[in-house]
Amino acid sequence: MANRWRIPIEVEKYVLERDSTCVYCGIEFSNDNRKTKASWEHIVNDIRMNGTDNIALCCMACNASKGAKLLSIWLDGNYCKNKNITSETVANVVKEAITNPPKLIE
Ligand SMILES: [Zn+2]
């Protein structure tokens, strides 16, 4: 069973518990503002990689900014510079993905 993003239910549950704030900017999720709504994120932009090491929750603002960019390139961009988001400030799951990128297991 999987949700509409093809994320397995058990991965979804785990990530919902783990990521109570945006994994990138750390903002607390809120439904009051479109930008601070939680959204499903593939840290490495490959929808086939659906493990807890690649699935995370981030705010809509970060998700929209990151888009299909490579994590390392996005972290170097203006959005992250303006928000003081660096490889040091992101959540552990993202740090882990920087040092040990999730890979597709065939
Ligand atoms: Zn964010």
Distance CA 22, CA 60 (A): 9
pLDDT at 60 over 90: yes
For residue 106, how far is its CA from the centre of ligand 1 (angstroms)?
A: 31
The two structure tokens encoding residue 67: 């888009």
Question: pLDDT (tens digit, 9 = 90+) per residue, 73-105?
Answer: 999 999 999 999 999 999 999 999 999 999 887
User: Residue 4: inside a domain, yes or no?
Assistant: no
CB under 5 Å of ion ligand 1: residues: 22, 24-25, 58-59, 62
Domain count, the chain: 1
- Per-residue pLDDT tens for 22-44? 999 999 999 999 999 999 999 99
Residue 104: inside a domain: no
Give me the torsion for CA of 33, 58, 45, 50, rounded to 10°.
-120
48 CA from centroid of ligand 1 (Å): 23
Q: Is residue 1 part of a domain?
A: no
Range of the domain at 76: 9-99
Ligand 1: centre distance to CA 72 (Å): 16
1 CA distance to ligand 1 middle (Å): 28
Q: Does residue 2 lie in a domain region?
A: no
Q: What is the pTM of this model?
A: 0.92
